[in-house]
Amino acid sequence: MINLPILFFGYSIILFSIIGFGYLSSKLLSKRLSLGELGLSGILFMTILSYITNLFVPHDFVHNSIFLIIGLFAFFFISKKKLFKKKIKLILLVSSVLFIGIIMYKSHDDFFYYHLPYTISLIEFKKIFGLGNLEHGFRTPSSIFYFNSLFYLPILEKSLINSGSIFFLIFSNIFFIQKIFNQLKNKNYNFILVLSLFSLLFINTIFYRLAEHGTDRSALILIFILAIYYLEGTNRKLTKTNFKYCYEKMLIIILLIISLKSFYLIYTIFVFILFFQFRKVFFKEKFYKKIFFNLTSYYFLFGTSIFIFTIFSNTGCLIYPASFTCIETFSWSIPKKEVIEMKTWYELWSKAGASPTYRVDEVEIYLSSFNWVPNWIENHFFTKISDFILSLLLIIIISSIFLVKFKKVRLKKKSFYLFYFAVLLLLFEWFLNHPALRYGGFSLIALSIFVPLSIFIENRLNSNFKLKKKITFLIFISFIIFSLKNIDRIFKETDKYNYNPLVNAHYFIDDNTNYFYELILKAEKKRDIDGNKFYIVLDKNLIKKIQLINE
């Protein structure tokens, strides 16, 4: 049993260690970072190191204890600085309020399917090739599993290995809070201020349930930060300094995004449109050499290479399920035919053609042209997306009441058209190929509304002396909503599952079951997509199919 004080103590150790690693990464890259950026940079640095160390050792008690102690030493060093001491209150305030999010009984629906088994594999083994042969979920590894595997600690054991997403939420909140109040302090009453506020209200009220984050929502939160970096950078003077600042900030956040889900590589489009927008600066006096050949670019390439290598070592594909990137000659490789069929399955699922309880007939006909649209509208749009849009409208209406005055003020034109075009392009790609909210829809739909609306509000922003109080009140309300929704969830879990976090704050897990080994033992009883029996062998650090028998 794990009581609340012990859980909070472990949670705090991880939090401070993340900040410590953020400090180390800032020194490595020679970058000055805000507190929110320090935390997110720390998560990225810890994740990359987690990938590297698992090549040689499992993430057991010894490894993880040493790992987090290094972060704590770095944190204690930085905490002695006068400028940092003022920020401790903000860290403690935000983390204490959001702590309620990890007090849960029921984890994500996919947690026992592959999130927990994958994390356990990292804890009990060093790098294993061919993991994708065990379960489909193992073919799309996310950095959240590698991050979570570092939280397997003495006394706490598995109590916090489902909590990685809370730290993304904490430091994203701190990022937006600092951005908002820096804008107010400098009297920059512009659309960046409004967009930052919308983003913060969104993540606290829409993404309040941590059990639903899975491997997707942390990345979707970071996309709002990516938008802030781009729009803030391109609405300044087109100078080398501004371009370098914007490019390096974007590159770090994109690296963190694609580590969570390799599919989000498509968001590198924002780097390319940044090059285009700063093209006069970029090619001036061969400035591009200083951009490409610097520490941040190397860091991005190194991190991306590690993430791609992990997908490859699991499946034989560089990007799964893009079959053209797959090499079948390795003993652990997934056959291309199976990769193509899985891609079809993912598409079918996102287009409302399948669920845990049903699957449409004639899959090829259903997915061809726009035959899927009527069913998608009925079963996805008018349930999930329509409710989501209503929630967005509620955020907008309440915020506008506090922020807008009817007298229009003329301001300078904003540079956002290229960015907005890229958002609409990604939204179109999302609708054509994977129109489920979790696959990018949340952020793309929100940004397509928030960006033009923020510019509209800037022209009518009620920037009197009470503006700071009004914005503070809105932020406060978002935390209240987050807390109340989670309190209500805990009460429901108490009634349904007899969950009592005051006695045992641990989420539901059968401690007598070894999920990873059980997955291997059950493998002989499984079948592939064609209905063939297959057998799995675990040979030291290699898992592969050794026989196929048609029946």
Domain assignment of residue 54, yes or no = yes
Rounded percentage of the chain residues whose pLDDT exceeds 70:
91
Q: Which of 125-139, 222-236, 289-303, 407-421 has the lowest mean pLDDT?
A: 407-421
**What does residue 141 show for φ and ψ, rounded to 5 degrees?**
-65, 140
Burial 23-61 (b: 16+ CB within 10 A, else e): bbbbeebebebbbbbbbbbbbbbbbbbbbebbeeebbee
The yes-or-no verdict on residue 142 having pLDDT over 90 is yes
Q: Kindly give, in sequence order, each residue whose CB lies less than 8 Å from that of residue 33, ignoring residues fewer than 6 positions away.
A: 22, 26, 41
The mean pLDDT value for 400-425 works out to: 79
Overall average pLDDT of the 514-524 stretch? 67
Question: Is residue 216 classed exposed, middle or buried when 0-12, 13-18 and 19+ CB atoms within 10 A define those classes?
Answer: buried
Q: Please state, in angstroms and rounded to a whole number, the distance separating the CA atoms of residues 377 and 385.
A: 9
**Does the structure show a pLDDT above 70 at 528?**
no
pTM attached to this predicted model: 0.93
Q: How confident is the model at residue 408, as a pLDDT?
A: 60
Reported confidence tier of residue 548, pLDDT bands at 50, 70, 90: very low
Least confident of 35-49, 128-142, 432-446, 510-524: 510-524
pLDDT for position 523: 57
Q: What is the pLDDT of residue 551?
A: 36
Mean pLDDT of 489-506: 91
Provide the CB-side half-sphere exposure for 404 (13 A, CA).
Answer: 14
- The 8-class DSSP code of residue 333 comes to P
134 and 543 Cβ atoms separated by less than 8 Å = yes
Predicted local confidence at residue 529, as pLDDT: 46
In a domain, 209, yes or no: yes
Say if CB 404 and CB 461 are below 8 A apart: yes
Helix then strand count (H, E) for the chain reads 23, 2
Q: What is the pLDDT of residue 524?
A: 54
Q: How far apart are CA 319 and CA 304, in angstroms?
A: 11
Name the residue type at position 241.
Answer: T
Tens-digit pLDDT profile for residues 285-322: 677 777 788 899 999 999 999 999 999 999 999 989 88
> Measured between alpha carbons, how far is 33 from 256 in angstroms, rounded to an integer?
16
Q: Give whichever of 313-317, 352-356, 528-532 has the largest mean pLDDT.
A: 313-317
- pLDDT of res. 152: 96
- List beta partners, residue 536: 545
pLDDT of residue 540: 55
pLDDT at 2 over 90: no
**Enclosing H/E stretch for 443:** helix 441-458
66 C-beta neighbours (distance < 10 Å), count: 10
At 478 the pLDDT is 96
| 52 belongs to a structural domain | yes
Please, what is the average pLDDT of the chain? 88
What confidence tens digit (pLDDT) does each residue in 43-88 have? 999 999 999 999 999 999 999 999 999 999 999 988 777 667 778 8
Q: Say if CB 419 and CB 451 are below 8 A apart.
A: yes
**What's the gap between Cα 311 and its chain centre?**
17
Domain count, the chain: 1
| Amino acid 310: pLDDT | 95
pLDDT > 90? residue 134:
no
Is residue 153 classed as helix, strand or coil in its secondary structure? strand
Residue range of the domain that includes 239: 4-367+468-497
Are 50 and 64 in contact, with CB atoms under 8 Å apart? no
Rg of the chain's alpha carbons, rounded to an integer?
24
| pLDDT band of 179, cuts 50, 70, 90 | very high
Q: Quick one: average pLDDT of 133-159?
A: 92
**DSSP per-residue letters across 398-440:** HHHHHHB-SS----PPP--HHHHHHHHHHHHHHHHH---GGGT
Q: 156-177, pLDDT tens digit by residue?
A: 999 999 999 999 999 999 999 9
Q: Is the pLDDT of residue 137 over 70?
A: yes
Classified as helix, coil or strand, 354 is: strand
> Would residue 435 count as lying in a domain?
no
Q: How far apart are CA 276 and CA 298, in angstroms?
A: 21
pLDDT tens per residue across span 446-466: 999 999 999 888 888 877 778
The answer to whether position 549 is within a domain reads no
**Residues in CB range of 178: below 8 A, 6 or more apart:** 34, 35, 36, 90
Asked whether residue 51 is assigned to any structural domain, the reply reads yes
What's the pLDDT tens digit per position in 224-259? 999 999 999 888 877 777 888 889 999 999 999 999
* Cα distance between residue 515 and residue 7, in whole Å: 23
pLDDT at position 520 is 67
Please check whether residue 414 lies inside any domain of the structure: no
Asked whether residue 175 is assigned to any structural domain, the reply reads yes
Instruction: Give residue-wise pLDDT tens across range 182-194.
Output: 999 988 888 999 9
Of the candidate ranges 39-48, 493-502, 514-523, 529-538, the one whose mean pLDDT is the lowest: 529-538
DSSP assignment string, 44-106: HHHHHHHHHHHTTS---HHHHHHHHHHHHHHHHHHHTSHHHHTTHHHHHHHHHHHGGGG--SS
